[in-house]
Amino acid sequence: MKKIIKILSLLLCVHSLNGQNIGEIHGDFNLNMQSYLEDASINAVAADEVIRNNSYLNILFTRNNFTAGVRYESYLNALLDYDDDFKGNGIPYRFATYSTSGLEITAGNFYEQFGSGLIFRSYEEKGLGIDNAMDGIRLKYKIGNGINLKTFIGKSRTYFTYADGIFRGIDGEIDLNQTFNLESKTKYIFGGSFVSRYQQRSNPLFELPQNVGLYAGRLNLINGGWNYFGEYAYKINDPLNSIQQENVNYASGSAFTSSLTYSRKGFGITAEIHRADNMLLLSDRDRIGKSYILNYIPTLSKPHAYSLLALYPCATQAMGELGVQLDVFYKIKKGTILGGRYGTKLNFNISRINGLKGGNSMLNDQINFTPELISFSEELYYSDINLEINKKLNKRVKYNLVFANQTYNKDFLEGKTPGEYGVINSTIGVLDISYKIKKGHSIRMELQSLMAKQLETASKKEEGDWLMGLAEYTISPNWFFAVQDMYNYGNEDASKKLHYINLNIGFIKGANRFEIGYGKKREGIFCVGGVCKLVPSSNGLNFNITSSF
C-alpha cells in the first residue's frame, strides 16, 4: 500500500512538473574547415597549421517569458580570410532576457539597431568576420497604444574582447494612428534616437571630446501601396586621435536616407537617395577597421548573387558620398506574347554613387569646409545599371538572364594611389538555366561573361575579361554536386590567364547540411551590405557542417 502511495505521489510530482512547462533547449552548430596549399600561380600561401577551423555552437534555453543563450566560438586557428585576432576558444556571447507586462530586460550580449542604423547598429555577419555585439543592459518597453521605447548601455565586442568606448542609447517610436485612434487611411510612424560614446581623453596635443553624441529622427508614411521612409542623422564632432593636425577633424557629421516605394499586383517601384558626410562611428576612436564600425549607412546598390556581377562590388563611404537608386519590378502577364504561359518577371535597377563636391566636412585650424547638401562631385565611386529577366518556359525549363554595366572606382574604393588602376568599366552577361530531368532530379547551368576596360590610362593593368561556367546536379531532397570554373582569359599577363576550378558536393537531411569542396579561390573583395573584406587567394579543401536542433 505504502509503495502504491509512493508511486502515485511520484507520478503526481512528475505530472505537475510537466504541467509547469520545464522549458525548451534549442541551438545550432556551424563548422568551417579549410586546408591551405601553396599555389605560386595565384600567390596562395600554405598555412603552417595545414588545416584551419572556425566553429560555432549556439544554445538557447526558453521557458515562458525567459530566454538565456550562449555561443561557444572556436578559432583553431581562424580561416585566413578572418582577422588574426580571432584566436582560440571561448564563450564571447551570453545573455539572459525576460519580459513582463510590456517590459523586456536583457543582461549580457545583444544586437540592436536604431532606425536604419545611421547612428547605431550592432550586428554579426559571419561571412565578413564581423561581430560587434553589445555587452551590457538593454531595456525595451512597450508603453502601449503604439508607443515603444528602447534603451541600452554597453560596450561593443571586437574579437574576444571589448572596444574602449562605452555606449549609451535611447530610441523611441510612436505610431500616431494607434496612439490617437486616427481613422486616417495613411499610417504615420515617427521615431527618434540618441546615442553617446564615452571614451577617455588621451591626446597629448589636441583636446578631444570625451563624450560624443549622435541623434537621428525618422518618419514612415504608409498609404495603400505607397510607402515613404526618411531618416536624418547628426553626429557631434568626433576627431580621430592623431597628433597630426590635418587628421584631426572637428567638423560634425550628418547623413540622411530617403526612400519612396509604390507597388501593386504585378508592379513595384522603389526610388532612393542617401547622403553621408563625415559619418563614421567607431567603437574605439583610436582604432581603424571594419570590426570597430558601429553605425551603418545602407549601401545604395543592388546586392548581386552571381559571381561575376559581384566581382567589383560597391562599398559604402561613410566619410562622404551621395547616391541614388531606382528599382522597377514588373511581371508581364501570362497569356501575352512576351509573358508566355507562365508570365515573365523583369527587374530593372540603376544606381549611381559619387563623392561629395569638395570632399567631406573638415574643421581644424587650417581648414573650414562644409559641402553643399546636394552636390555630386566629378568623382564617380560606383555605378550599376542592370536588367534581370526571369522566365519559366515550360514545366521543365526555367531561366534567368542578367545584363549589367558597372563602373568601379578601384583606386578610391580599394584605397590605391590615384592613377594606379583608375576606374574600371565592365559589361556583364549572365544566363542561369534550370532543367528538371525527372521528379527530384534537376540540372542547373550558369554561363557568365565579364568584359572589362580601364577608363583612364593607369600605371597598372587590371585583370581584364572573365568567363565563368557552372554545372550543378541536384537530387532532392538530399544531394547536390557542382563544378565551376572561372577563367581570366583576358588577363594581359600570360602567367595570370588562369582557371579557378571548384568542385562541391553537399548532403542535406532536414536541418543538417554537410558540404565538401575543393578548389582555387581568387583574391578579391567580398562584401555584405556594403561592408567589405579582402579575401586572400587560396587553394585547398573545405568542409562545412551546419546543423540545428
Partner 1 sequence: MKKILITVLALIINISLIYSQERNLPNIEVKTLDGNSFNIQELENDNNPIVISFWATWCKPCKKELNNIAEVYEEWQEETGVKIIAISIDDTRSMSKVAPYVNSSDWEYDVYLDSNSDLKRAMGVSTVPHTFLLNGKGNIVWDHRGYIDGDEDELYEKIEELGK
DSSP code string of 413-462? HTTPPTTSS-EEEEEEEEEEEEEEEETTEEEEEEEEEEEEEESS--SS--
Residues 137-156 that bind partner 1 (CB under 8 A): 148
d(Cα 258, Cα 113) in Å, to the nearest integer? Answer: 17
d(Cα 498, Cα 485) in Å, to the nearest integer? Answer: 10
Residues 76-95 that bind partner 1 (CB under 8 A): none
With CB under 8 A as the contact rule, the residue among 52, 79, 109, 112 that binds partner 1 is 112
Under the binding rule (CB under 8 A), the answer on residue 182 touching partner 1 is: no
Binding map of partner 1 across residues 336-375, x = CB under 8 A, - = no contact: ------x--x-x----------------------------
With CB under 8 A as the contact rule, the residue among 192, 217, 268, 536 that binds partner 1 is 268
Rounded to the nearest 5°, which phi and psi values hold at 3? Answer: -60, -45
48 CB contacts (<8 Å, ≥6 apart)?
none
Under the binding rule (CB under 8 A), the answer on residue 261 touching partner 1 is: yes
Residue 102: CB minimum distance to partner 1, A: 11
Rounded to the nearest 5°, which phi and psi values hold at 190? Answer: -115, 145
Binding map of partner 1 across residues 490-519, x = CB under 8 A, - = no contact: ------------------x-xxxx------
With CB under 8 A as the contact rule, the residue among 203, 270, 377, 491 that binds partner 1 is 270
Residue 63's CB is within 10 A of a number of other CB atoms, namely 14
With CB under 8 A as the contact rule, the residue among 82, 86, 167, 229 that binds partner 1 is 229
Residues 364-423 that bind partner 1 (CB under 8 A): 400
With CB under 8 A as the contact rule, the residue among 26, 341, 453, 461 that binds partner 1 is 26
Residue 333: CB minimum distance to partner 1, A: 10
Would you give the DSSP letter of residue 179? H
Under the binding rule (CB under 8 A), the answer on residue 50 touching partner 1 is: no
Rounded to the nearest 5°, which phi and psi values hold at 315? Answer: -120, 135
Sort residue 414 into left (φ over 0), alpha (ψ -120 to 50) or beta. alpha
With CB under 8 A as the contact rule, the residue among 213, 340, 529, 536 that binds partner 1 is 529
Query: Segment near partner 1 (CB under 8 A), from 237-245, 277-285, 292-300, 351-359?
Result: 292-300
Contact 236, 252 (CB under 8 A): yes
Residue 301: CB minimum distance to partner 1, A: 9
Size of the site for partner 1 (CB under 8 A): 89
d(Cα 96, Cα 108) in Å, to the nearest integer? Answer: 7
Contact 148, 173 (CB under 8 A): yes
Residue 162: CB minimum distance to partner 1, A: 20
With CB under 8 A as the contact rule, the residue among 42, 80, 176, 189 that binds partner 1 is 189
Under the binding rule (CB under 8 A), the answer on residue 18 touching partner 1 is: yes
Under the binding rule (CB under 8 A), the answer on residue 317 touching partner 1 is: no
Q: Which is nearer to partner 1, 398 or 522 (CB)?
A: 398
With CB under 8 A as the contact rule, the residue among 156, 193, 196, 220 that binds partner 1 is 220
Peptide bond between residue 298 and the one before it cis (omega within 30 degrees of 0): no
Q: Which is nearer to partner 1, 122 or 539 (CB)?
A: 122
Kindly calculate the radius of gyration of the chain based on its CA atoms and give it in whole angstroms. 27
Query: Segment near partner 1 (CB under 8 A), from 35-43, 108-116, 198-206, 456-464?
Result: 108-116
Cα–Cα separations (whole angstroms), residue 466 to 79, 110, 385, 499, 518: 27, 43, 19, 10, 21
Q: Number of helices (H) and strands (E), helices first, in the chain?
A: 3, 32
Residues 440-469 that bind partner 1 (CB under 8 A): 440-442, 444
Under the binding rule (CB under 8 A), the answer on residue 326 touching partner 1 is: no
With CB under 8 A as the contact rule, the residue among 299, 317, 360, 409 that binds partner 1 is 299
Contact 403, 387 (CB under 8 A): yes
